[in-house]
Amino acid sequence: MAPMELNRRTFLAACAATAVGSSRAHAQAGDGLRPEDFGARGDGATNDTRAFAALGAEVNRRGGGTILLAVGRTYIVGEQPRGGDYGWTPVPILKLHHLTRPVRIVGNGARLRCQPGLRYGTFDLATGASVRRPMPNYRIEEIATPYRSMIWIHDCQAPVELSDLELDGNFERLRLGGPYGDGGWQIPASGLWLQNNRGPETVSNVLTHHHAQDGAMIDGDDRRSARTRFTRLVSRHNVRQGLSIVGGRGYDFAECEFSHTGRSALTSPPGAGVDIEAEGGKTNRDFTFTRCKFVDNAGAGMVADSGDSEGALFTDCLFVGTATWAAWPSKPRFVFRGCTFVGAVVSAFASPDPARATRFLDCRFTDDPSLSPTGTVFTGGEDGSPMVNLGQSDNILFSRCTFDFKGKGVLPWSWRATYEDCTMSQVSPAPAMTKGKYLGRTTIRGPVDLYGSMIVGTLVLNGKLVPPGPKGVAPW
């Protein structure tokens, strides 16, 4: 899978193809509104927060409409007067809510960039100095943040569309205070927040980066029937998460990237590329990721380990763990088809019901450093650690998968996983505990302990045919 390269220059080039179409839309849209209509300058120096707030209020008054940003302009946003809910409470930037008519935000390659020098973290109310309390710290009156979300769209019934826009959190130029929450800096400051919308949502060609919390957050309505489509959402160098999904159903991601979380001036746990974690009594259901990348995150590339989450399909995706796990899919009905895993995988979901257990179909597992942007690959933490560490592994399926470990990588640790038509090799002398049920034809090269396995099909170990049947245990 070829890497997706996107910087400011290539982002603008990608947006240029849609600029003409957007101009036509402007000419045809009688209710089109621009931030300049409310006093914005878009000159990269003037703070345009109040103009965007007024623009959002007018769209809310109308119940929907079209927002048109100027081609390639930089709008400075973020304002935090003292007092309010927090010690320094942010002014909403573009907050759209309870819309009954479609809303369309046409970015035209414009950028929203956070005002440098604003506070983020916890600060002493009297002196304004940074404070660091013992964790957990829940002194909300000491919180400062430049914005809760640059764009916050919630409780809308009508379709939502957002395209061709850059959201720059400018985190490295903020004034950092102390931590807040149960660990790290759990203070709102995300690029895009979609919350409790019932209608379809379409997000395309959005670059969101260097936010003090998440590049994007989905807190959806898990009762809705509409679907949401993300195409080329690129989320990089954010502090806590590339994307958090804390509730909802029916979200499709294509050609997206969630990389380098926690790789700027600060890391706040979990530090994942994508965190699928239902919260607040909600559920997560029915997600698809196609040709997406999860690369070089401080936490797992993708983690699903808590909350009521179920059902995700990953097709032709790339997971690269440089310092920790490439993927952590510990929820039911997760399927990986044609994916590449560079770095170790942990905690797939085991179940007595094969339909609920994690399935890997036509996937590749490797420790090849040439596929890592840093030249390093996480191989499980210690020499001899398995590259797929399953713990409980009943009915976890590997079908037509390739395991190719040429460095320190060791073949999977499993007990009752199923291996079907796989090719497996390692050069490490560390013994692998790749125990399970073998179907079809599988070949293994390397030191592997098969005690407890069931050989149903054909298994060739280091050039020798392994007799069928159970290995040292009763048939299962």
Nearest Cα residue to 388 out of 397, 379, 377: 379
Q: Can you tell me the distance from the alpha carbon of 260 to that of 243, in angstroms, rounded to the nearest whole number?
A: 12
Q: Residue 347 CB: number of other CB atoms within 10 A?
A: 20
Q: Residue written as tokens 């088809």?
A: 337
Q: Can you tell me the distance from the alpha carbon of 349 to that of 333, in angstroms, rounded to the nearest whole number?
A: 8
Q: What is the pLDDT of residues 89-115, one digit of tens each?
A: 999 999 999 999 999 999 999 999 999
Q: Can you tell me the distance from the alpha carbon of 348 to that of 331, in angstroms, rounded to the nearest whole number?
A: 7
Q: Residue written as tokens 């101009």?
A: 23
Q: Residue 249 CB: number of other CB atoms within 10 A?
A: 21
Q: Residue written as tokens 């699928």?
A: 276
Residue pair 263/238 in contact (Cβ under 8 Å)? The answer is: no
Can you say how many angstroms the Cα of residue 5 is from the centroid of all Cα atoms in its chain? 17
Q: Which residues pair with 32 in a beta bridge?
A: 66
Q: E-strand spans in 257-383?
A: 257-259, 272-276, 283-290, 293-295, 302-304, 308-315, 318-320, 328-329, 334-337, 340-342, 345-346, 359-361, 364-366
User: What is the chain's length?
Assistant: 476
Q: What are the structure tokens assigned to 145, written together?
A: 């943040």
Q: What are the structure tokens assigned to 242, written together?
A: 């590339």
Residue pair 87/127 in contact (Cβ under 8 Å)? The answer is: no
Q: Can you tell me the distance from the alpha carbon of 286 to that of 225, in angstroms, rounded to the nearest whole number?
A: 11
Q: Which residues pair with 152 in a beta bridge?
A: 95, 193
Q: What are the structure tokens assigned to 87, written together?
A: 């010690």
**DSSP per residue, 215-267:** EEEEE--TT----EEEEEEEEES-SSEEEEEEEEEEEEEES-EEE-TT-SS--
Q: For residue 264, what pLDDT is reported? A: 87
Longest dimension (CA), the chain: 79
Q: What are the structure tokens assigned to 164, written together?
A: 């061709």
Q: Residue 73 CB: number of other CB atoms within 10 A?
A: 20
Domains of the chain and CATH, by start: 1-265+273-295+307-314 (2.160.20.10)
DSSP character for 42? -
Q: Which residues pair with 314 in a beta bridge?
A: 289, 336
Q: For residue 28, what pLDDT is reported? A: 42
Q: Can you tell me the distance from the alpha carbon of 446 to that of 154, in angstroms, rounded to the nearest whole number?
A: 54
Q: For residue 392, what pLDDT is reported? A: 85
Mean pLDDT by 10 residues, the chain (476 residues): 53 60 44 93 98 98 98 97 95 98 98 98 95 94 98 98 98 96 92 97 98 98 95 98 98 98 91 97 97 98 96 98 98 98 98 97 98 96 90 94 97 97 97 97 97 97 97 90
Residue pair 247/222 in contact (Cβ under 8 Å)? The answer is: yes
Residue pair 311/276 in contact (Cβ under 8 Å)? The answer is: no
Nearest Cα residue to 105 out of 62, 156, 69, 58: 69
Q: Can you tell me the distance from the alpha carbon of 255 to that of 317, in angstroms, rounded to the nearest whole number?
A: 9
Residue pair 189/147 in contact (Cβ under 8 Å)? The answer is: yes
Q: For residue 265, what pLDDT is reported? A: 85
Residue pair 265/171 in contact (Cβ under 8 Å)? The answer is: yes
Q: For residue 29, what pLDDT is reported? A: 44
